Chain A
Amino acid sequence: MLEEVLAATIRGATPLLLAALGELISQRAGVINIGIEGMMLMGALFGMIGSFYTTGLPMFAPWIGLLAAGVSGLLTAIIFVIFTIKLRGDQIVIGTALTLFALGFTEVINQRLLQVVERPLKSTAFNDIHLPLLSEIPIFGKILFSQNIIVYLTFLLVPCVYFFLYHTHLGLRVRACGEHPNAISTVGSNVLLIRTACMLFAGVLAGLGGGYLSLADVPYFNSEMTAGRGFIALTIVIFGKWHPIKTCGAAILFSFGFALEYRFQAFGLGIQRQWFMMLPFLLCLAVLAGFVGRAEAPKALGKTFDPQA
């Protein structure tokens, strides 16, 4: 029972963590991307499509789907970059526009496919990989080492992001872009270029996070399948205080809450599920307000940078 809940926690945390890590990097560079929900939705749709059209190659189909998911996230991020960085539009407005766009676009495409394609729209999903020896460990083996490949890769990404942000030159510059873009611009770094790169990376990760939903979680697409996960990823970044390791912790914590909720539901305990769904957002507000340990956002977060000003 507990084993199952914890395994579900790790599985559920993966798409949240993927999207949150991208959001983390872009926010540390000063770009707030609330189009993350839209990017995940695009990833979910194109992940399914990529895998669906290559069903003939069962070995490669999930990977091609994942590639398509990443590329669709990247393309959405390119639109974001053109409008916010090239045309100096407001990040909040563009983010909202992209989420709205994805909500409409994915449903239009999905409905069209349902009209045109005769067989059921199913993707070839990733299989679970039972790591030799490690998966034999009692309890932990099942929770940690019997998951699909994206889960492993995602959790491996956490230390990489940590190392990048805190132990490389470029990571230092990224953080500086989010705190004092003028200062880092003065010493010769190209703020717009760094922000563009971070944003594109965030787009790819959000797309992959969406792709996980239609390639590993369930083998189909549904336009409501992201169900606010993009915004939960946003709360995770804040709850994790813009730090990769803490963000990973926050993703696991929130995912545990959702997994628990699902079990509670199955056992018919008298707690309404909305309490669990509401909790991440309330916790996030509490953290922002400083009731549960103060979180400081990057100082230049969401501010358009104009090198000529």
Chain B
Amino acid sequence: MNNLLRMLLTAKSKCVSSLENYPRFVQWVAVPLLILGCASLTNAIILLLCGYNPIEAYTAAARVSLGSISGLSETLVKTTPFLMTGLSVGIAFRCGIWNIGAEGQLLVGALGATWFGTRLAYMIPHSSWIGVPLCLTTAILAGGLWGVIPAILKITRNVNEVISTIMLNYVAIHLMGLMIEGGPLQETAKIGSQSDPVVEWVTLTRFVEQYRLHSGIVIALVLAVVLTFVLFRTTFGYQLRAVGEGAAAAKAAGISVARNTLQVFFISGALAGLGGAIELMALADELTKSFSPGYGYTAIAVALMAKLHPLGTIATALLFGALSRGSFAMEGEIGISGKVTWMMQAIILLYVVGFSSARLFNKQPSKQP
């Protein structure tokens, strides 16, 4: 049985295929840099055709996102939600589960944290040593349970998780609207469509008062390391990857695919939900409709560019954080719409797919072992 599993794991996975014949350095450093270069160039050409000066735009972006301590702090602040959702999507994809629902899970996690932070928190002792962990736990449960819904639909009703998670994203968006626009979580004044700010004893602390960088990034980094350990050094991670390589064969080897799916969906949802909670508890304070600029969708690019490796995700999340921060500079200084960051993300994603395509690298389609 062990041999069978080992065979499965060496089998080429969907997203990571065909680069395995190359040295590790090429796989992990050269190719991502090449992707970044090509994407920047493509993006620059589009900007040039629009009549902007891409060199000016890029220098402004680099200067603002990386050139100063406050800029770096903002970049890291932006990195945190990308890292959390990237880890969430990455672990699901590893298990062969196409969880497109990180966006919804993040929102529901944030909703859970809002509920705790603006309502329940008054019932506990007013100390952040108790408040913060409890608030994070609420978000983990909320996001995780939201993630379990598509898992149950998949296991019992054979519903394709791609479609169900997309649907649940929209249900979550409108659920959030329901709660903060006239619903039970609307601010006490009942005027704006937003929640009350979370109470002080559930907010995450900043390292230095004048910079927004907060302890959430530490949580995210620790989780990335823990997930790496779980994925590559535990039986659970082994089984998870085996299911990802081929559910039928893993089943034949005695792994319960249903249980695995359920667990992975819970973890994936919990990570995204936690990401939402961290964002809320550290920065936003109150939940508004524009809380997430599509973190859950960007996460797909973050995870795939990192080849679904939790440690790689740290690097790609940082890149996307810098891009996101840099787009503010492009908007402010050059007048390019800040949404240019989505265009750049999409181009990166397309190049990631292009570069991992078997047809570009190997003339012959790769042989399955």
Pair from one complex: yes
Contact A107 B168 (CB under 8 A): no
Contact A272 B163 (CB under 8 A): no
Considering only CB atoms and an 8 Å cut-off, how many residues of chain B contact the other chain?
A: 55
Q: Which residue of B lies closest to A103 (CB)?
A: B342
Docked CA distance A289–B47 (Å): 45
Smallest Cβ-Cβ distance to A91: which chain B residue? B162
C-alpha spacing A281/B166, complex, angstroms: 9
Cβ–Cβ < 8 Å partners of B300 in chain A: 93, 96
Give Cα A87–Cα B355 distance, bound, in whole angstroms: 9
Residues B295-341 near A (CB distance < 8 A):
297-298, 300-301, 304, 335-337, 339-341
Closest CB in chain B relative to A41 CB, distance in Å: 11
Is there contact, CB below 8 Å, between B164 and A288? yes
B177 close to A (CB within 8 Å): yes
Bound Cα distance from A284 to B340, whole angstroms: 33
**Closest residue of chain B to A87, judged by CB?**
B357
Known: A97-B301, A231-B170, A275-B178. A90 touches B339 (CB 8 A): no
Q: Which of these binds chain B: A4-12, A109-117, A142-150, A251-259?
A: A109-117
Chain B nearest CB: distance from A142 CB in Å? 32
B346 touching A97 by the CB < 8 A rule? yes
Partner of B174 from A105, A111, A234, A274 at Cβ < 8 Å: A274
Is A88 an interface position by the 8 A CB rule?
A: yes
Q: Chain A: how many interface residues by the 8 Å CB criterion?
A: 53
Q: Using a Cβ cutoff of 8 Å, how many contacts connect chains A and B?
A: 158
Are B343's CB and A108's CB within 8 A? yes
Q: How close is B297's CB to chain A, nearest CB, in angstroms?
A: 6
Complex-state Cα separation, A36 to B346, whole angstroms: 15
Of B46, B167, B301, the residue contacting A235 (CB under 8 A) is B167
Interface membership of B134, Cβ < 8 A: no
Q: Which residues of B contact A103 (CB under 8 A)?
A: 294, 339, 342-343
A234 and B163: CB pair below 8 A? yes
- Cβ of A258 to closest chain B Cβ, rounded Å: 13
* B350 A285 Cβ-Cβ under 8 A: no
Q: Are A104 and B174 in contact (CB under 8 A)?
A: no
Any B CB within 8 A of the CB of A223: yes
**Bound-complex Cα distance A278 to B297 (A):** 20
CB–CB A308/B167 < 8 A: no
**A282 neighbours in B (Cβ, 8 Å):** 167, 171
- Checking B47, B51, B181, B297 against A100 with a beta-carbon cut-off of 8 angstroms, the contacting residue is B297
Interface centre among A89, A116, A228, A282 (most CB of B within 10 A): A89
Assuming A281-B170, A282-B171, is B339 touching A223 (CB within 8 A)?
Answer: yes
Q: Does A101 contact B (CB under 8 A)?
A: yes
Given A97-B353, A111-B335, check contact A277 B174 (CB 8 Å).
yes
Tell me, rounded to whole Å, the shortest Cβ–Cβ distance linking A58 to chain B: 28
A100-B297, A288-B157 known; A278-B346 Cβ under 8 A: no
B357 touching A89, Cβ below 8 Å:
yes
Label chain A's interface by main secondary structure.
helix
- In the bound complex, do residue A96 and residue B297 qualify as a contact, i.e. CB atoms below 8 Å apart? yes
Tell me which residues across on chain A come within 8 A of B166, comparing CB atoms. 34, 231, 234
A221 vs B137: C-alpha distance when bound (angstroms): 43
Q: Is B304 within 8 A of A93, CB to CB?
A: yes
Interface residues of A in 255-309 (CB under 8 A from B): 272, 274-275, 277-278, 281-282, 284-285, 288-290, 297, 301-302, 306, 308-309
Q: How far is the CB of A233 from chain B (nearest CB, A)?
A: 12
The answer to whether A89 touches B354, judged by C-beta atoms less than 8 angstroms apart, is: yes
Q: Which of B145-184 contact A (CB under 8 A)?
A: 153, 157, 159-160, 162-164, 166-168, 170-171, 174-175, 177-178, 181-183
Residues on B with C-beta less than 8 A from A275 are 174, 178
B interface vs A, CB < 8 Å? 14-15, 46-47, 50-52, 98, 100, 153, 157, 159-160, 162-164, 166-168, 170-171, 174-175, 177-178, 181-183, 294, 297-298, 300-301, 304, 335-337, 339-347, 349-350, 353-354, 357-360, 365
Other than the given A100-B301, A112-B336, A272-B182, 16 more pairs (CB < 8 A) read: A89-B354, A100-B346, A104-B343, A105-B343, A108-B50, A231-B166, A235-B167, A272-B177, A277-B170, A277-B174, A285-B167, A289-B153, A289-B159, A290-B157, A302-B162, A309-B365
Chain A interfacial positions (CB closer than 8 Å to B): 32, 34, 79, 83, 86-90, 92-94, 96-101, 103-105, 107-112, 115-116, 223, 228, 231, 234-235, 238, 272, 274-275, 277-278, 281-282, 284-285, 288-290, 297, 301-302, 306, 308-309
A-B contacts, 22 of them at CB < 8 A, read A87-B354, A87-B360, A89-B354, A92-B100, A96-B349, A97-B349, A97-B350, A100-B349, A104-B342, A109-B50, A111-B335, A112-B336, A116-B51, A272-B181, A277-B177, A278-B171, A281-B170, A281-B174, A282-B167, A285-B159, A288-B160, A306-B365
